[in-house]
Amino acid sequence: MKKYLTINTLGWAVTLLTSLMLLMSGVQKIAGSEEMVNNFTSTHLLPYLFLVGLMEVATASLLMYPKTTIYGAVLLTCIMSAAAVIHLSYMNGSGVLIPVILGLSGWIGYFLRSNKLQKV
């Protein structure tokens, strides 16, 4: 009987959810949705809206391809660390847990999918 619920499968599920969240956010930024434009305008970062959106879409792509997952996790850490700092600095800490949890979920998905964890 084949096991469907394994640590590797759980890692893929976490990675998929993280990538979907990043894709959703990145596409909203690239499309210039009203909410994203307002958020970036209030933090005086509107010129970087498109660039951040592209980075999020690229990160989601890197996370889903097994050979580049580590690079996606590192890039995700950079993006979400900057987002947490912006939330703490300009938004008085409101919503700071979202980028922190999203950044951690990228690493959790990576470690659950890695062969090193399965050998232990």
Q: Which two tokens stand for residue 115?
A: 């062969």
Q: Rounded to two decimals, what is the model's pTM?
A: 0.88
90 domain-assigned: yes
pLDDT in tens, 2-15: 777 888 889 999 99
Residue 118 pLDDT more than 80? no
Q: pLDDT tens across 40-56, in order?
A: 999 999 999 999 999 99
Q: What string of DSSP letters covers 11-35?
A: HHHHHHHHHHHHHHHHHHHHHT-HH
Q: Does some domain include residue 101?
A: yes
The reply to whether 119 falls in a domain is no
Q: Is residue 25 part of a domain?
A: yes
Supply the pLDDT for residue 94: 84
- What is the predicted pLDDT for the residue at 114? 87
The total domain count for the chain is 1
Whether residue 2 is contained in a domain is answered as: no
Domain that holds residue 75: 7-113
